[in-house]
Structure 1
Amino acid sequence: MTSVLTQIATVFSQLSLLSFGGGNAVLPELQRQAVDLRSWATPEQFHSLFGLSQAAPGPNLMIVTLLGWHVAGPGGALVATLAMVGPSALVAVLVTRLWHGLRDRPWQRTVQAAMTPVSAGLVCAGAVFAVRASTGTATGVVIVVVATALAATKRLHPLAILGAGAACGLVAAVM
């Protein structure tokens, strides 16, 4: 069990340090690590855990805790969560202190502007992962396209769109 917890800590600590733009930015790599490289979950299990994590209230990256639980029970959940949050939080505190100390430097705005597209690109990669995970069927594709169009053009609350998409998926699954 200790070996598995060490593996969980190593994987999630590394992902934590790559999670510019939020945890969803590392979802493709998380899936590759958990499914392809380590066989902690099947693709179907991973997608189910991802869906559950998105439906549950709380942080967007609840999948980390759920995956840790799936692999090694409560200890795995704790180790995965701490490993995902800890390193990036520590780096954020250190960089913020350094950043504020250098706030009058002319290159600071350039660096800050350069980080925006990096963060946006990583978030987009996470969005592509989410779309791939939910579009295994024609119904899934339609739901994703309609939900995206609604989110982009209407001022609807995201939970309303999520609920409507879930209801449509449920109705399609029952039929």
Structure 2
Amino acid sequence: MTLDLALRLCRVFGAASLLSFGGGNAIVPQLQLETVDTYGWLTAAQFADSFAIAQAAPGPSTLLVSLLGYDAAGLAGALLATAAMILPAGLLIYGMARLWQGASRMRWRAALERGMAPVSVGLVLASGVVVARSTDHSWTQYALTVLATVALSLTRVNPLIVVAASGLAAWAASA
């Protein structure tokens, strides 16, 4: 791995770590923009594959970053991307937690918390759109995306059942 690539990995994942309001999925659009469109470290299909693998495993947010770093620069890239993702936000959170505790009765704190909730929702929804654009290329795939979204949003069905049913439906449609 070159020094230039190492610095780019640190910039991409370090900056993303500071934008991850609402969890790791909130930064998926930014990660896709940087790793696919800006630097070309991955294709859109590779990004979608890494995202799918990460979602199927424990700790999906960090795993996605590790996979993207690995695709860009091997094991060293995976380690560097993971560290760059964890350290900036971790240090910021440590400092902010001390300030936040001191402001527990302040009106601006409650207002800020109410304002961050819709931003978090918007970031997560944007992530879904980015991943759908990378993976959905047929009417069957669009339909499965909509059906899975509705099933998971409006019912208490186990996500594993939705994943299995979608996989079987996609397989049946391709046969």
Taking structure 2 as the reference length, the TM-score comes to 0.91
Q: Which amino acid aligns with 1:16?
A: S
Q: CA deviation at 1:98?
A: 0.8
State the match for 1:11 in structure 2. Answer: 12
Following the alignment from structure 1 to structure 2, what is the Cα–Cα distance between the partners of residues 21 and 3? 30
Does structure 1 retain, via aligned residues, the 8 Å contact 2:17–2:86?
A: yes
Instruction: Count residues in correspondence.
Output: 173
- Name stretches of at least 5 consecutive residues in structure 2 with no aligned partner: none
Cα separation, 2, equivalents of 1:170 and 1:96? 48
Deviation at 1:51, TM superposition (A): 1.9
**2:60 match: secondary structure:** coil
Say if 1:65 and 1:78, in contact at 8 Å, map to a contact too.
yes
Listed as ranges, the gaps of 5+ residues in structure 1 are none
**Aligned CA-pair RMSD:** 1.5
In structure 2, the residue matched to 1:105 is 106
**Structure 2 counterpart of 1:20:** 21
Shift of 1:95: 1.4
How much has 1:155 moved relative to structure 2? 1.3
Matched with 1:87 is 88
Amino acid at match of 1:25: A
Superposition pairs of residues 128-167 of structure 1, within 5 angstroms: 128-167=129-168
- The 8 Å contact of residues 134 and 141 in structure 1, kept in 2 or not, is answered as no
Label 1:77 to 1:171 Cα distance change in 2 as closer, same or farther (>3 A).
Answer: farther
Residues 9 and 81 in structure 2, CA contact (< 8 A), matched pair in contact too: yes
Aligned to 1:120: 121
Note the C-alpha offset of 1:60.
Answer: 2.3
Q: Which residue of 1 aligns with 2:49?
A: 48
CA contact (8 A) 2:50 2:64 kept: yes
For residues 101-150 of structure 1, what are the alpha-carbon distances to aligned partners after superposition, in whole Å with 9 as ceiling and x for unaligned?
11121222111111111111111111211222332111111111111121
After TM superposition, the score normalised by the length of structure 1 is 0.91
Task: For 2:39 and 2:107, locate their aligned partners in 1 and report how far apart those are by CA, in whole Å.
Answer: 45
SS of 2:93's partner is helix
How many Å separate the matches in 2 of 1:141 and 1:157? Answer: 21
